[in-house]
Structure 1
Amino acid sequence: MEHIKYILKQSWSRHTSFKWTEECPSSGQCGVTALVIQDQFGGAIYKTKVGESWHFYNSIYGVMYDFTSEQFQAPINYQHIPSSREEAFLDTNEEQYQHLCSAFSRYMNSISEET
């Protein structure tokens, strides 16, 4: 899944989260990323509390994937609470979601064309 992380880093921008920075591209990307990863690979969306906020990530075939964990300084104490697309959408908006869908697909296609 390292190639997926690479594609996400190329896809994230200020258009996918207002918290995005060059220094920390994954900042604020958890909800929108969990949605796009579920679109592409299926599985379930989970959440855990980090500070006062919910943090979203994916489970695919029973394996947990958190592609945005490096936005946090401290290790995450995962609670693995089942979540939903509706909850993850509360962390983003339609414009950010559509932008990440398009960017992710564009990078996925360009990589598969190279191989």
Structure 2
Amino acid sequence: MLKNSELIAVLPAKDLGRAREYYRDKLGLEVAEETPGGLVYRMASGAAFLLYETSNAGTARNTQMCWTTADIEAEMAELRGRGVVFEEYDLPGLKTENGVATMDGERGSWFIDSEGNTLCLTQQT
């Protein structure tokens, strides 16, 4: 039954007002719905995510959400123009150049939102 259900990602925020401003000003996203549980954002693809307030925000060190794009450089340029800073990594199996890592079959870039969540862009190659 789950395969027929709507899926929504959930991200923590220490300060929901600050998060709303970041997602609007830096990522160009508007809140689609305000619920008692938080702020819902809906993508044109039908995907959605919820930002909810909790003191646990920013504690995860893993990628929490990723957008797939056809042109990672264009997306990064637009986001950089809005003030988003992309992470640079030099780890075993993961090295970025100008914010982009090339992996088997895909390219990826990561940034940290105002709440400490690690978000990414990915492009299939």
**TM-score, normalised relative to structure 2:** 0.29
Relative contact order, CA 8 A, sep 6+: which one is greater?
1
Q: Higher strand fraction: Structure 1 or Structure 2? A: 2
Q: Higher helix fraction: Structure 1 or Structure 2? A: 1
**TM-score, normalised relative to structure 1:** 0.31
Q: Which has the larger radius of gyration?
A: 2
